[in-house]
Amino acid sequence: MLSLPSSPAPVAALLASAPVVLAPMEDVTDAPFRRVARALGAALCVTEFVRAEQLIARSALARRKATLAADDRPTAIQIYGADPTLLMEAAVIAAEARPAFIDINCGCWVPRVARSGAGAGWLRDPAAMVAMARRVVAAVDLPVTVKTRIGWGPESDMPIVDLARRLEDAGVAALTIHCRTAQMGHRGAADWRWARDARAAVAIPVIVNGDVRTADDAVRALADTGCAGVMIGRAAIDHPWIFGEARARLAGERVAPPSDADRLSVYRTLLAANIAARGPRPGVAVTRRHLGLLGPVVGPALRGPLCAAATPAAAFDLIDAHLATIPPGSAGGGEVRATAFVAP
């Protein structure tokens, strides 16, 4: 297990050992999903973002998001908000969980977040963003990182390279760059060249993010940009095996894709974890967002029945009945063993 960092330098060490990172995703990268992703190769994870005001109020939601179990490490806690003072206070509270580092969300483009000045809203005023980051860095004894986009608006006004230098000067320990503008949302193609240019301008680690859909994409993103890490978000929702696949590619190896039995087993594991964490009916409901885990063969057969299953017993019965139809040792779509990747 990686040691918990106490200064900015270990962020580089974390990425040297675990360059393929699970991105923070609201309503996705909770503790049960992180545990599944970690077992499949995601050695370094980031929590869902936690609103500063909720952390300060120590709300039930914030406590759930920011609690890190002993086997949920190394994991960073991501915070967001529009008020620098509240972000400072939230960072101090987040630090109590001793995460690997504290990440500030300056990249969420969703209107309800960005219009308030939080998330990518900070890109409208880069000077204020840098000043905020400096205050958060000074408030805690853990590394502070920033996840952001390449700019707010048109490509002609792209502050990311200069912004990277200024954030480094403010004491930020690493920078994750989603290579789209805030106004693009998820539209258009991510341009990894911006991460490459920012990486060349600073000494701190830069992590490239955006349009990393396959293990080969992850390898190519690292090679094309020279970044210290690559962060994977949406592709991991339906295919968390991407982390083990990418780690294998980086080691010059390949692993077979998951079998149908693997897919069912991972969905079953996640279902059980969500039920334990949230209660029976909410656990069943929240796991449905991961029906894509079942793949192109099993998915069409079970999607409808699992959406209709309202109780744990009904959901488990469907999964177990389908598992029973798969011959032992059957490769299905190709086998990948349930290797528990351990962070070095």
333 or 321, higher pLDDT: 321
Q: Is 19 inside any structural domain?
A: yes
Q: With 50 as the cut, is the pLDDT of residue 5 above it?
A: no
- Given 45, 106, 108, 179, which residue is catalytic? 108
Answer whether residue 343 is part of any domain: no
> Is pLDDT at 4 greater than 70 in this prediction?
no
- What's this model's pTM, rounded to 2 decimal places? 0.90
- 116: in domain: yes
Same domain, yes or no: 147 and 71: yes
- CATH number of the domain encompassing residue 128: 3.20.20.70
Q: Indicate if 179 belongs to the active site.
A: no
Residue that finishes a domain, picked among 195, 229, 250: 250
Nearest by Cα to 30 from 60, 2, 59, 72: 72
Task: Please classify residue 233 by burial: count the beta carbons closer than 10 Å to its beta carbon, then call 0-12 exposed, 13-18 middle and 19+ buried.
Answer: buried
pLDDT tens digits for range 41-64:
999 999 999 999 999 999 999 999
Q: 23 and 144, same structural domain?
A: yes
Domain carrying residue 276: 260-324
**What's the pLDDT score for residue 328?**
64
> Of the given ranges (197-211, 215-229, 326-340), which has the lowest mean pLDDT?
326-340
- The helix (H) or strand (E) run that includes residue 84 is helix 84-95
Place of tokens 């990393």: 212
- Closest to 258 in 3D by CA, of 250, 266, 270: 266
Is 183 part of a structural domain of the chain?
Answer: yes
Examine the domain organization and report whether 66 and 199 are in the same domain.
Answer: yes
Query: Please, which pLDDT band fits residue 153 given cuts at 50, 70 and 90?
Result: confident
DSSP string, 34-52: HHHHHHTT--EEEEEEEEH
> Whole-number mean pLDDT of the chain?
91
Same domain flag for 146 and 275: no
Regarding whether 154 and 123 lie in a shared domain, the answer is yes
Residue 326 has a pLDDT of 86
- Inter-CA distances, 130 with 10, 148, 164, Å: 22, 12, 9
The answer to whether 143 touches 109, Cβ cutoff 8 Å, is no
Q: How many domains does the chain have?
A: 2
